């Protein structure tokens, strides 16, 4: 299994992850999010539905990057270091809403449970996540000394 396939498998098992950004003073800030990931042409893409708070907007305006970290109680781990950008196109926001609904659970979900106003609501936003580095491992591999599977964009 490739590093990207393993990342997606761990993300699908764990579902929720910590997403860290940095503020204008370069201090990290983490929050829990529920991204949806898919493999595309040798790479990986993710989207996450979020509330577009002034704080998140300021962090990503300062530094448009995020680190997403999954950990399970079994000690499976997956980390993606990503470029993050806001989706501003209303049609794409609707398309990503539909992608989240169409993705099988547990990774996929109906965003209306958190955003009853739908994809046009002011409190719904989409962050696109484009990893440049991914690492993932199952607990058994770590325990056996095999370490992490790593992928990096060219």
- For residue 41, count other CB atoms closer than 10 A to its CB: 6
Distance CA 107, CA 105 (A): 5
CA–CA dist 100, 89 (Å, integer): 17
* The pair of three-digit structure tokens given for residue 145, joined into one six-digit string: 């000394």
Q: Which domain holds residue 64?
A: 3-152
pLDDT tens-digit profile of 15-64? 999 999 999 999 999 999 999 999 998 899 999 999 999 999 999 999 99
Instruction: Please tell me the distance from the alpha carbon of residue 16 to that of residue 146, in angstroms, as a whole number.
Output: 25
- Structurally, how many domains does the chain consist of? 1
Total-model pTM: 0.94
pLDDT digits (tens, 9 = 90+) for 58-114: 999 999 999 999 999 999 999 999 999 999 999 999 999 999 999 999 999 999 999
What is the b/e burial string over 87-103, where b = at least 16 CB atoms within 10 angstroms of the residue's CB?
eeeeeebeebbebbeeb
> How wide is the angle at C-alpha 100 spanned by C-alphas 95 and 105, nearest 5°?
155
Distance set, CA 18 to CA 6, 76, 102, 114 (Å)? 18, 14, 23, 18
CATH of the domain at 116: 2.30.110.10
């Amino acid at each position: 299994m490739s590093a990207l396939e393993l990342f997606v498998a761990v993300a699908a098992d764990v579902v929720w992850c910590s997403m860290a950004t940095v503020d204008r003073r370069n201090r990290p800030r983490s929050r829990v999010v529920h991204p949806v990931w898919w493999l595309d042409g040798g790479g990986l893409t993710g989207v996450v539905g979020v509330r577009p708070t002034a704080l998140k907007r300021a962090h990503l305006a300062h530094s448009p990057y995020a680190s997403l970290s999954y950990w399970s109680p079994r000690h499976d781990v997956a980390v993606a270091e990503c470029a993050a950008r806001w989706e501003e196109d209303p049609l794409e926001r609707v398309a990503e809403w539909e992608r989240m609904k169409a993705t099988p659970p547990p990774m996929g979900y109906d965003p209306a449970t958190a955003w009853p106003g739908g994809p046009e609501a002011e409190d719904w936003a989409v962050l696109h996540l484009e990893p440049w580095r991914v690492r993932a491992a199952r607990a058994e591999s770590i325990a056996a000394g095999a370490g992490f599977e790593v992928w990096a964009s060219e």
